[in-house]
């Protein structure tokens, strides 16, 4: 597509939220990115949280963490540009050691990935020997390497159930763990380094079954039941969708809880007077842009500062300057790959 075509397409979707001059500038950046993408035989993967102009112009594929991991595993391109955060780009590298994986902004982190270290996981494994470890993909490669299997928000309960184990270590998201515990009918405990580690279970009848961690998503922990109550008062018939990184109180008060793509699909497939999306704000903007006929309500200000680091400008620089190259040490990568592959194989 040339700049005029991209401009027209973006204007149709974003004309009501962005000034014309800005859309024109974004369209020109997109043309340059698409040309370089072709020249470098690259694929651009865009997470659902990318800002609207980027989301609707340059990615070859968009999706949630699980879909993008699957796509990363299948690509035959030489270069993968990951428009998402670092743990996602690392997952792509884990699955594609021979390819160049680029993350347009090095400081695109994640509060969940920062909440746990590989040493923490090793200590937990010492305390709970032979208990399988499920790790959310929102972690760095060395943490994945200590795990038996990874999961995403889209398959967490399924992964836990696939292990057929009474007791499971589930890391590091406290709220996702609470949601999964409820879905799978398991009790939950939270060991604490500072308050003393609990003793490993010694008898066969366990009074706890999911061993969690205190990681939190700095965006999703902000949503409250009050937000839902207020929306229900203000918008009669509103359908509330929450990401499972929200607290159990919030997901229980919502009408639907699921991954980012799960929420998009839900909105596409249902007819409701309005939808309240309890997740990162750009995704609500993206759905609103794709479905102008639907009334999408956002809670302003709840944006992921890490996802917002990724811009069209930096994506262009990433391809031009080959930055920032994601590397994973080979012995770590091989162990992490087993956990990621095992997840991908669980349908």
In the DSSP assignment, the letter for residue 297 is E
Closer to ligand 13P by CB, 259 or 286: give it: 259
Select the binding partner of residue 48 from ligand 13P, ligand SF4, none (C-beta < 5 to 8 A, by kind): ligand 13P
Tokens, residue 217: 């998503």
Q: Between 87 and 324, whose beta carbon lies closer to ligand 13P? A: 87
* Dist CA 83 CA 324 (whole Å): 12
Of these, 65, 115, 167, 251, which contacts ligand 13P (CB under 6 A)? 65
Site string for ligand SF4, 78-117 (x = CB under 6 A): -------x------------------------xxx-----
**Contact partner, 153, from ligand SF4, ligand 13P, none, Cβ < 5-8 Å per class:** ligand 13P
Secondary structure class of 50 (helix, strand, coil):
coil
Count of residues making up the chain: 347
Pick out residues in 31-50 that bind ligand 13P (CB under 6 A).
Answer: 48
What's the min distance (Å) between Cβ of 110 and ligand SF4? 3
Query: And the tokens for 263?
Result: 């929420």
Examine residue 62 and tell whether it contacts ligand 13P (CB under 6 A).
Answer: no
Q: Which residue(s) pair with 136 in the sheet? A: 151
Size of the site for ligand SF4 (CB under 6 A): 13
Q: CB of 187: closest distance to ligand SF4 in angstroms?
A: 25
Distance CA 212, CA 190 (A): 5
Beta bridge partners of residue 268, listed in sequence order: none
**3-14 helix and 20-39 helix, angle to the nearest 10 degrees:** 130
User: Quick check: 133 and 121 in contact, CB under 8 A?
Assistant: yes
Pick what 306 binds: ligand 13P, ligand SF4, none; C-beta below 5 to 8 Å, kind-dependent.
Answer: ligand SF4
Whole-angstrom Cα distance, residue 278 to residue 276?
A: 6
Q: Which string of x and - marks every residue 201-240 that binds ligand SF4 (by CB under 6 A)? A: ----------------xxx---------------------
Which residues, numbered 262-301, are part of the site for ligand 13P (CB under 6 A)? none
Extract the tokens encoding 69: 């991991």
Q: Helices in 128-202 by DSSP H: which ranges?
A: 141-145, 156-162, 174-184
> Which residues, 128 to 157, sit near ligand 13P by CB under 6 A?
138, 152-154
**CB distance 248 to 213 below 8 Å:** no
**Residues contributing to the site for ligand SF4 (CB under 6 A):** 85, 110-112, 138, 217-219, 245, 280, 304, 306-307
């Amino acid at each position: 597509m040339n700049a005029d075509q991209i401009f027209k397409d973006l204007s149709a979707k974003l004309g009501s939220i962005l000034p014309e001059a800005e859309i024109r500038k974004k369209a020109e950046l997109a043309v340059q990115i698409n040309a370089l993408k072709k020249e470098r035989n690259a694929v651009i993967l865009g997470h659902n949280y990318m800002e609207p102009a980027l989301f609707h112009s340059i990615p070859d594929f968009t999706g949630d963490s699980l879909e993008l991991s699957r796509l990363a595993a299948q690509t035959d391109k030489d270069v993968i540009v990951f428009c998402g955060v670092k743990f996602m780009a690392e997952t792509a590298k884990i699955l594609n050691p021979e390819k160049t994986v680029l993350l347009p902004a090095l400081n695109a982190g994640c509060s969940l990935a920062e909440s746990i270290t590989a040493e923490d996981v090793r200590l937990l494994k010492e305390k709970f020997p032979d208990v399988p470890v499920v790790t959310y993909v929102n972690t760095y490669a060395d943490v994945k390497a200590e795990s038996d299997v990874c999961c995403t928000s889209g398959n967490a309960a399924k992964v836990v159930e696939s292990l057929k184990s009474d007791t499971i270590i589930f890391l590091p998201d406290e709220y996702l763990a609470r949601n999964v515990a409820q879905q799978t009918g398991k009790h939950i405990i939270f060991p604490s380094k500072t308050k003393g580690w609990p003793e490993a279970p010694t008898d066969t009848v366990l009074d706890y079954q999911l061993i969690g961690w205190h990681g939190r998503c700095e965006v999703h922990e902000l949503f409250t039941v009050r937000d839902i109550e207020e929306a229900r008062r203000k918008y009669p018939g509103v359908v509330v969708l929450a990401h499972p990184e929200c607290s159990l109180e919030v997901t229980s008060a919502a009408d639907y809880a699921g991954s980012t793509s799960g929420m998009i699909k839900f909105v596409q497939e249902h007819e409701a007077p309005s939808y309240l999306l309890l997740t990162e704000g750009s995704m609500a903007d993206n759905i609103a842009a794709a479905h102008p006929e639907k009334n999408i309500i956002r809670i302003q200000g709840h944006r992921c500062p890490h996802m917002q680091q990724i811009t069209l400008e930096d994506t262009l620089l990433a391809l031009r300057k080959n930055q920032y190259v994601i590397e994973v040490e080979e012995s770590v990568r091989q162990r992490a790959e087993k956990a990621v592959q095992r997840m991908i194989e669980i349908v």
